[in-house]
Amino acid sequence: MRVSRQADYAIRVVFDLSLHPEARIKEIARRQQLSPSYVGRISQRLAKTGILENRRGRLGCLGLACSPEQITLLDVIEAIDGPVRMERCLLAPDECGRELSCPVYKVGQETLLLGLAKLSNVTFASLLNSEQGR
């Protein structure tokens, strides 16, 4: 499993909007130390998948399309990177054809499933609560 830098930044954008329910791209970029153009591109992808809303008007703010309780880390990662899967066999990518009988392949798939379960259970509300509990 691989999470891209763009997905990492998207997580930061969604977390920022969990803290600040409406914000301009420039404000998010400043707080997250990202370029405004990059935040703009990420926000467009997140809006297409229904995670963010572009709230037009004189301030041109962004906001979450639903509550932080309804958005998981997996939602954001998959909105940017597509479905999460194991990139390749741990030993030999598509070379041996032993996926059905290989014990290493089975361990990799089990690990991936555990990781997916964890990512799908961590909401931005829970991240926000852990941040505020520091």
pLDDT attached to residue 116: 87
Q: What is the CATH number of the domain that holds 16?
A: 1.10.10.10
Residue 123 DSSP SS3: strand
Distance in angstroms (rounded) separating the CA atoms of residues 68 and 51: 10
Q: What percent of the chain has pLDDT over 90?
A: 59
| 68-92 pLDDT per residue, tens | 999 999 999 999 999 876 655 655 5
Query: Structural domain tally of the chain?
Result: 1
* pTM assigned to the model: 0.82
Comparing C-alpha atoms, which of 90, 103, 73, 95 is closest to residue 13? 73
Q: Is the pLDDT of residue 132 over 90?
A: no
Question: 57 is in which domain, residue-wise?
Answer: 5-84+123-132
Instruction: State both tokens at 123.
Output: 């909401």
